[in-house]
Structure 1
């Protein structure tokens, strides 16, 4: 069979552009699997996975390869019909790339925000020593007006100059920087290299069942001065 199956059928396209059903199909890319096996692998409700598998099978993305006999109804074993799938953007019906990727981006951002503040508040409770936190507005040593949050009585410097908050495995560096295009390219290369270093470690830990998941946000994109001003 072809290494990449191009899809244009509306039912198949809908399933491939939906996060959960795409994950369910992914559980069958490594080889034959059952509904129960996929549910365990993905940590999803068995009934939800069963419903998604039936839809994927009906759309021609999964096929039944055999049945395992047992007392009662036999267990169907499924496999993906191709090792890879591709949906042309023109077949998605999305008005633009932003619309197509906005759902996952919004869920990722919401989870990051929730997890960050949950961990930050835990660390603050453990390490604050009774100091209260709050919002600050001050003239930074570099000469610009700074608005941020920190402990009461903390030195009036930005966390990028001297971090004075609780210590732990959290980092939320939503920063604006002013660079030349050459400097921005250097930063871009550094970030890409970081991701490339982390990828094999992630795969090794997941294969061994070790480590723990962390959310990592890296980004760099040019904006106009007017757009930057809206962040103040």
Structure 2
């Protein structure tokens, strides 16, 4: 069973919400290792990792498991204090649940933006955003080549899906069926081991507050 830890200390909870903390902690979750071994995995200089390790240890996210003997001073071996961390909203300094969720998702959003930027610049040097009215009159942004033409990444040259459909009208059972079908497709494709890495981000939510528009 995975070792779990609930973070009640605000400083530790806030730290773990930050993408950089998650990145630095990840090697130690996999297995115990020295600062030098973790630095190699992270592509960093060992000296640059020493202070973050000291801070993560002080926050209770890392612990020393052993001292390896060597010529000179023994080397400390660190591991994460858990394999699974739980950060309660109440333990953070976030004022609203929305900001809490935003902090947790920022790493994924930033990663998606970076990959999309690279893909767009690779295939189209000239593009922008075309704002068009939706069913309720709200303006929605679309990637476009000009005022009349949406950006079209040809399937034979590029793979990129990134869109929001805010006006899908479904009964509850239809929404459940859609969710199940999408998950089945996802599970089928996770069995494939191809040459290119892809990121897949999905979201399906009922609109419970129609006063908030996108």
Q: TM-score, normalised by structure 2?
A: 0.70
Distance 2:11 2:132 in 1: 56
Q: How does 1:73-152 map to 2 (within 5 A)?
A: 73-124=73-124, 148=142, 150=144
Unaligned residue ranges in structure 2 (runs of 5+): 134-138
- The offset of 1:75, in angstroms, is 1.9
Match of 2:165 among 162, 169, 175: 175
- The offset of 1:63, in angstroms, is 2.3
- The offset of 1:111, in angstroms, is 3.6
Distance 1:146 1:95 in 2: 29
Q: Find out whether 1:187 has 2:171 as its counterpart.
A: no
Distance 1:19 1:138 in 2: 34
Alignment match, 1:215: 199
Using CA pairs under 8 Å that are at least 6 residues apart, name the structure with larger relative contact order, 1 or 2: 2
4+ residue segments displaced more than 4 Å: 132-139, 145-152, 197-201, 224-228
Bigger Rg over Cα: 1
Distance 1:138 1:66 in 2: 61
Alignment match, 1:9: 9
Shift in alpha-carbon separation, 1:211–1:49, aligned structure 2, 3 A: farther
CA contact (8 A) 2:153 2:160 kept: no
Could you say what secondary structure the match of 1:28 adopts?
helix
CA contact (8 A) 2:4 2:86 kept: yes
Q: TM-score, normalised by structure 1?
A: 0.66
Distance 2:140 2:100 in 1: 36
Alignment match, 1:142: none
Root mean square deviation of aligned Cα: 3.8
Residue-by-residue CA offset, 1:120-171 (whole Å, 9 max, x unaligned): 232236xxxxxx76777899xxxxx99855567x8x8xx7xxx954331222
> What number of residue pairs does the alignment pair up?
205
Distance 1:137 1:62 in 2: 48
Distance 1:146 1:21 in 2: 35
Distance 1:117 1:18 in 2: 23
Residue-by-residue CA offset, 1:174-204 (whole Å, 9 max, x unaligned): 3334221232222222333344445565xxx
